[in-house]
Amino acid sequence: MAEEIRILKDFIEKEVPKAPPLYVSVFLMTKAAEGKTSAAEIAEKLEILESDVLKAWRYWEERDCFAKEAAQMSQPKAIPSERPQYSPAELSCYLKREDVKRLFQSAQQKLGKTLSSGDMATLFSFYDWLGLPLEVIDLLLTYCVSRGKRGMHYIEKVAMGWAEEGLDSLEAVEEYLQMRKEGYGAIMRAFGQGKRLPAPEEETYIKKWLREYKLPLDVVVTACERTIMRTGGVSFAYADKILREWHQAGVKSQADIAKLDEAFAAKRAQQKASEQPRQTAPQRQNRFINYTQREWDYNELERLEREKQREW
């Protein structure tokens, strides 16, 4: 399936009508190449002069259009609060597209029913409203059906969740589903909560550890196990403190954790040694003080003295 490129609606409405058609062609070719191209390559593809490509680039740079496109495309997608409504005439027009027609045929097979006009409008809104590629919408249907969910309300709720997560490619969806299937279960089991799903706030922590920090699952599980041992309970906030420090320290494996533990133990032993009071040297005792002196009987001494005087 051919790849898609996205152009801001604001650019189409405000910039395209005022720009020379040739410059618009150059802009689109540059966008398609994601900026990784040369003036010579674009000139050859469009069969124009290389100098015309350079003029077009200067035109768009002066209007800051390349920078605006990059900045706005990098921001999280803001989903309008209400799904648009499509008339039968609009749907009939969209059905002329082969890729849209294939999506609806695939949806009918997966859902096991003939799609109503409302069903088709909802599915097409995932592409037009949420910005999900058609192949991602097809995978979305497979995912929902595998969970025994064929209701369009449930499918729409999942689609909105995927859009908010920025899952705009098959690779991103597969990585996300793998994280939910294995990651969530392993982390909840490490907390002794294997029989329940994480609450929304807990899920926010898990996404940060696995998607933002990109920490290996076994490292996250180790932090959860240590949280239980140190706090005696389930504390995602405490585990987050551990994992934030590990992330800042560049931890990527159990070996990295072992090195941090060794460094911490050595530092603690050093601090403990410096905090111990100095032992005073034993006081040297005077040999005269230690000498056990005799106990004299002074009455007996006087008697002996009198007897001695008589003899004289």
Tens digits of residue pLDDT in 127-163: 988 989 999 999 999 999 999 999 999 999 999 999 9
Tens digits of residue pLDDT in 159-190: 999 998 889 899 999 988 988 888 999 999 99
Strand (E) positions, 114-228?
none
Residue 181 domain-assigned (yes or no) = no
Q: Note the pLDDT of residue 76.
A: 45
Tokens 């409405």, residue located: 13
**Mean pLDDT of the 36-48 span:** 81
Cα 8 to Cα 40: distance, rounded to the nearest angstrom: 26
Q: Note the pLDDT of residue 308.
A: 59
Residue 36 domain-assigned (yes or no) = yes
Q: Note the pLDDT of residue 70.
A: 46
Cα 17 to Cα 11: distance, rounded to the nearest angstrom: 9
> Is the per-residue pLDDT at 72 higher than 70?
no
Between 212 and 156, whose confidence is greater? 156
Residues 240 and 191 in one domain: yes
Residues 144 and 99 in one domain: yes
Residue 56 domain-assigned (yes or no) = yes
> Is the per-residue pLDDT at 41 higher than 70?
yes
Phi-psi region of 19 (alpha: psi -120 to 50; beta: other; left: phi over 0): beta
Residue 83 domain-assigned (yes or no) = no
Tens digits of residue pLDDT in 103-124: 999 999 999 999 999 999 999 9
Tokens encoding 146 = 């595998």
Q: Which long-range contacts (CB under 8 A, 24 or more apart) does 121-124 make?
A: 121/85, 121/86, 121/91, 122/83, 122/152, 122/155, 122/156, 124/86, 124/91, 124/94, 124/100
**Mean pLDDT of the 263-274 span:** 87
Cα 142 to Cα 39: distance, rounded to the nearest angstrom: 43
> Is the per-residue pLDDT at 80 higher than 80?
no
Residues 94 and 141 in one domain: yes
> Is the per-residue pLDDT at 73 higher than 60?
no
Residue 45 domain-assigned (yes or no) = yes
> Which residue segment(s) compose the domain that 150 sits in?
88-168
Between 31 and 257, whose confidence is greater? 257
Residue 234 domain-assigned (yes or no) = yes
Residues 66, 68, 74: CA angle, nearest 5 degrees = 105
In terms of Cα–Cα distance, which of 215, 287, 225, 290 is closest to 247? 215
Residues 138 and 200 in one domain: no
Residue 287 domain-assigned (yes or no) = no
**Total domains, the chain:** 3
Q: Note the pLDDT of residue 166.
A: 86
> Is the per-residue pLDDT at 261 higher than 90?
yes
For the four alpha carbons of 72, 78, 82 and 87, in that order, the dihedral sign comes to positive
DSSP letter (8 states) at residue 82: S
> Is the per-residue pLDDT at 228 higher than 70?
yes
Residues 70 and 92 in one domain: no
Cα 14 to Cα 1: distance, rounded to the nearest angstrom: 30
**Percentage of residues in the chain with pLDDT exceeding 70?**
80
Tens digits of residue pLDDT in 88-103: 888 888 888 999 999 9
Q: Note the pLDDT of residue 194.
A: 81
> Is the per-residue pLDDT at 258 higher than 90?
yes
